[in-house]
């Protein structure tokens, strides 16, 4: 029934571009429809500060190359697949201690009391194994969540892909990419005028506008 979108020679990557998020929650709703965890959404969607902005931020598991959650798990319950997908805690092993919840630098794992188990995004392994896009990136209307090859991204999208983070002294490389503005990738023109945006004063309340 299903037809793969990606062949075996393709190596699609998952990309999050938070700036494109419109907060519609299609990802949240679609995640809960996934065949392996029906009724449970495993994606995060944060309202950053609704009083000040409509900015929202979706967050899937970043699938770290050397995952902190697994490092701190006393029960060795968090495993990676060969493809580098970090999975939810193995149910028989998980002791519900929440070390992973506290340790993850991205705040991804959640301890679900109802199941006494840590659960998190597994990158829709049931779909990606068949060459299909994960559910959230399938439906995302703004392509803030995106799945495809790096070549496709560079051909069609603006922004620079990025996956190395420094948390204090801990360096983390993730399987999932984020996007930063090309301008921020440098070199930085330090003598240029400061960038002024209408966002500083959306309604012209500070400008000398005839009212």
Binding site for other proteins (CB under 8 A): 1-2, 5, 19-20, 22-26, 28-33, 35, 38-47, 50-56, 110, 112, 114, 119, 133, 135, 138-143, 156-158, 198-199, 202-205, 207, 209-211
User: Would you tell me how many other CB atoms lie within 10 Å of the CB of residue 61?
Assistant: 26
Q: Which two tokens stand for residue 118?
A: 């840590």
Nearest C-alpha neighbor of 88 from the set 37, 53, 38: 37
Q: Which is nearer to other proteins, 67 or 134 (CB)?
A: 134
Q: Are 153 and 18 in contact (CB under 8 A)?
A: no
Q: Which is nearer to other proteins, 2 or 169 (CB)?
A: 2
Q: Which is nearer to other proteins, 66 or 201 (CB)?
A: 201
* Least distance in angstroms from the C-beta of 200 to other proteins: 11
Quote the CA–CA distance of 38 and 113 in Å, as a whole number.
Answer: 17
* Least distance in angstroms from the C-beta of 171 to other proteins: 25
Q: Are 127 and 147 in contact (CB under 8 A)?
A: no
Q: Which is nearer to other proteins, 112 or 169 (CB)?
A: 112
Nearest C-alpha neighbor of 135 from the set 19, 7, 9, 38: 38
Q: Which two tokens stand for residue 149?
A: 């090859």
* Least distance in angstroms from the C-beta of 169 to other proteins: 27
Q: What angle do CA 174, 180, 181 make, to 5 degrees?
A: 170
Q: Are 35 and 168 in contact (CB under 8 A)?
A: no
Q: Which is nearer to other proteins, 47 or 173 (CB)?
A: 47
* Least distance in angstroms from the C-beta of 196 to other proteins: 12
* Least distance in angstroms from the C-beta of 51 to other proteins: 6
């Amino acid at each position: 029934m299903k037809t793969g979108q990606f062949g075996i020679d393709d190596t699609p990557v998952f990309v999050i571009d938070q700036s494109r998020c419109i907060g519609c929650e299609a990802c949240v709703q679609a995640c809960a429809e996934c065949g392996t965890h029906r009724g449970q959404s495993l994606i995060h969607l944060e309202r950053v500060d609704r009083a000040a902005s409509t900015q929202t931020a979706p967050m899937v598991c970043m699938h770290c190359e050397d995952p902190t959650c697994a490092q701190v798990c006393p029960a060795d319950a968090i495993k990676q697949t060969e493809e580098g997908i970090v999975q939810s805690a193995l149910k028989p092993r998980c002791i519900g201690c929440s070390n992973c919840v506290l340790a993850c630098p991205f705040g991804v794992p959640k301890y679900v009391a109802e199941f006494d188990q840590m659960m998190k995004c597994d990158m829709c392994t049931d779909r990606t194994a068949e060459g299909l896009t994960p559910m959230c990136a399938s439906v995302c209307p703004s392509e803030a969540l995106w799945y495809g090859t790096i070549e496709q991204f560079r051909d069609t999208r603006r922004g620079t892909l990025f996956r190395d983070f420094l948390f204090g002294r801990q360096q983390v490389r993730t399987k999932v990419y984020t996007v930063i503005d090309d301008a921020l990738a440098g070199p930085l023109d330090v003598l240029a005028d400061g960038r002024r945006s209408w966002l500083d004063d959306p309604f012209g309340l500070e400008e000398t506008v005839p009212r």
